[in-house]
Amino acid sequence: MALEVRIVTPRKVVWEGTANAVQAPGELGEFGVLPKHIPYLTTLRPGPVTVDTAQGKLVFHVGVGFAEAGPDRVTILAETCEEK
């Protein structure tokens, strides 16, 4: 089972695809999401988001925003985002 991941800014969809895991900078600290994660909603602080795909790891630097996770998906809504 894989996660459907979507990283979005007000201007565009920065990245979407499937991943094995996601790590992101929550307001209260770093958090990770694996398949079958419990529903989770948090604010984001600026920092790196790491997406572990079958082809390798992708790293994005996001600004403030929100993250929503569930058993089969992760959505990152960020003010800004740049791929590193």
Residue 35 is predicted with a pLDDT of 97
Residue 84 is predicted with a pLDDT of 86
Residue 24 is predicted with a pLDDT of 98
Residue 31 is predicted with a pLDDT of 97
Residue 30 is predicted with a pLDDT of 97
Question: What ranges make up the beta strands (E) of 1-84?
Answer: 3-8, 13-19, 21-26, 29-33, 40-44, 47-53, 56-62, 65-69, 73-78, 81-83
**Which positions of the chain have pLDDT values less than 70?**
none
pTM reported for the whole predicted model: 0.94
